[in-house]
Amino acid sequence: MSHHEHPQSTNTESDTQLEPLIAACEQEPIYIPHAIQGFGATIVTNPSMTQVLYASANAAAFYAQHQEPSTPLTAKITQQSDWLQINPQEFFPDSLFTELNDAGCNEAIWVETNTLSYLAWRTDSYWIIEAEPNYPHVSNWFEVQFQRAFHLLRSSQTQQQLLQNLCDLVQGIADYNRVMIFQFDDDWHGKVITEAVREPFNSLLHHHFPASDIPPQARAMYSKNPIRLIPDCEQPPIPLTTIHGTAAEAEANPIDLSTGLLRAVSPLHSQYLQNLGVGASSSIAIFKDQALWGLVACHHSEPQVLDRRRRRLLVRIVEFAAERLWLIHARNIERYVIRMQEAREQLAISAKTAETPHELVKEHAERWLDLFQCHGICYVRGDKMTTMGQNPSSRELQKIVRWLEEHARDEFAWHSHNLKDEVPGLLLENSLFAGLLAIPLKNNADVFSYFLLFRLEQAEMRSWAGVPEKLQVETAAGTMLGPRKSFALWEEEVRGKSRPWRPAQLYAARDVARDLLIVADTMQLNILNDKLEAVNQQLEKLASFDDLTGIWNRRRLEEKLYSELKEAQRYKKRFGILLFDIDHFKRINDEHGHNVGDQILQELSAVVKEALRDTDMFGRWGGEEFLVIAPATGMPELMQVAERVRKAVAELNQAGLPQITISVGVAEYINDQSWDELIERADRAMYEAKDSGRNRVVAGTEKK
């Protein structure tokens, strides 16, 4: 049975017959209009506070018993008709009027005197004053009790410890037989998660209650007043009697008592509590982010009034406990986020050596299975799928991905813990999987990625507080869903669902999935960059290097000549060049062929590179001519470098190749305006070397 469905009825009525009753239950008034409970009295005045319009039927007797000593004799009340003559401004304490005038519409104020405790609020049409007997305590009783509760709750380190301490505190202060923490689920069914219980009640711990037990209109009331008090479940309601005006006027302009505490109890709810064996009840709301999270529900076997000071103390304690509860929750999330951050850092480290994102999934799957509390992981990128742990079949996975592509591609995280019911047909009928968390990764239109987490079905034996009967009762408002009569334990098996995904897990899964996407895209980009780098290197080689010898070509040499010249002109630096060619190279080509000539050029290039310094730049100037650029070098060092190069070539003795020599022209930068001038001097010196018999070095020292 789905947890969001109403529990199956043991009666013979069909669900179709029950649907109107359930709908009527949600519209049922949860208190009796124009009626109160008898642990106080209610007075309704006009906005100017000059007339009493309505008074609860017990008001005269109540005020006769609890009259303020300072009340003027002219304002004494002995019978209900006396309200006709009462001026509220004389009857009630001045501090009450002051507080009400300063308060906003429907803003409740609390004023105490030695005799009475007032709760009052105003609307556009009425001023409403509730009064209860005041039972003075020791002056610092409230502070002592709250400090005790504060220290106990603040010392709680876990949610369970905190809630148990809260139950014990409430029971100790209010003296109820049973105090429960009642938590709502997403469908407003409730579960007792903690309790403090004593005789004559039995434990209801871990019992569930259907949403119809606390309908929407009842839950909404807690936003107006966080506490609901029923001191006597069997006490009949006390009506408001008309003092000035008519019943028709009251019906046309009804009095909203929801802000107060005295409002009368719905007969159906009163009967429900009596069926449960409860004589007195109270409940205090627990809010999370301004939404109702649960209740502190209290039961007593006999009627019992909880005075206003104790109520206010309990509300304060519950509010503080809620703050502490969400702090513990936030710290748990913080610890989880730290664990996830560590996992992401490990992923980043692994990504430096992994070749594909699929490798990373395999490497980190075990840790992720633990962090996400899931049973299987599936990573999809394009047409490749990697699975780890327990996953649906390949066919089911493909069907899931196709469905996600069509219905959830633009969502940051699609999740379900009831997959078979939410998307019928995605899983086989006998599949044990129920939970899916899917992160679509939209990196581009052609290659899509999904990070999928799966959870197995988690069968649960659910204990209900009694057979959830659906009984019809006739009320003034029509046929209603009546209160259950039996609260004996009733169990059912809930199947087809997994553990729900927590918000922190959704965001953590999204972050991991995006990390994988970044890694995958980075790897793809690196592959493309490597290819581009290889192409660029090839282009660079073609643009800057000589194909035959592997040394710089003329274009590259000219660039360096230009930059060296500019640097020398600006910073007065020295540099020089060596220009040489192979003696009788044409004869070698003619006699031995061009293949041998090419080998000679290659061997010469290799031996010259060995003879040069690391800072020297060497390239092929053209044909059999070569150029060396020597930075930060002048005469006579240039001549020494040139002689070393000439000697190395002359000593080159490669089997199968003829002996060769070179003629070298040397030129040093002398305030030249262009590198052409430098080349021209070196070229004249080279030809002078040839004319002088070849295999020698000549310096070109003068400008033409």
- Is the pTM higher than 0.85? no
Greater confidence (479 vs 483) lies with 483
Contact 472, 482 (CB under 8 A): yes
Tell me the C-alpha distance between 670 and 678, whole Å: 8
Residue 703 pLDDT: 60
Predicted confidence (pLDDT) at residue 31 exceeds the cutoff of 70: no
Tell me the pLDDT tens digit for each residue of 571-613.
999 999 999 999 999 999 999 999 999 999 999 999 999 999 9
Tell me the C-alpha distance between 210 and 184, whole Å: 10
Least confident of 99-113, 466-480, 665-679: 466-480
Tell me the pLDDT tens digit for each residue of 662-687.
999 999 999 888 999 999 999 999 99
Tell me the pLDDT tens digit for each residue of 109-126.
888 888 888 999 988 888
Residue 513 pLDDT: 86
State residue 511 phi and psi, 5-degree precision: -65, -45
Around 219, how many Cα atoms within 13 Å sit in the side-chain half-sphere? 23
Residue by residue, DSSP assigns 686-704 as HHHHHHTTSSSEEEE-S--
Predicted confidence (pLDDT) at residue 555 exceeds the cutoff of 60: yes
Greater confidence (336 vs 483) lies with 336
Catalytic residue among 130, 195, 564, 624: 624
Tell me the pLDDT tens digit for each residue of 236-256.
999 988 888 777 777 777 788
Residue 5 pLDDT level (bands cut at 50, 70, 90): very low
Contact 381, 358 (CB under 8 A): yes
- 624 counts as catalytic: yes
Residue 191 pLDDT level (bands cut at 50, 70, 90): very high
Alpha helical stretches, state H, 352-466:
357-371, 394-407, 419-422
State residue 123 phi and psi, 5-degree precision: -120, -175
Give the pair of three-digit tokens for residue 496: 């087809």
Predicted confidence (pLDDT) at residue 2 exceeds the cutoff of 50: no
Contact 593, 634 (CB under 8 A): no
Tell me the pLDDT tens digit for each residue of 434-457.
999 998 886 555 667 889 999 999
Residues in CB range of 557: below 8 A, 6 or more apart: 617, 619, 621, 627, 629
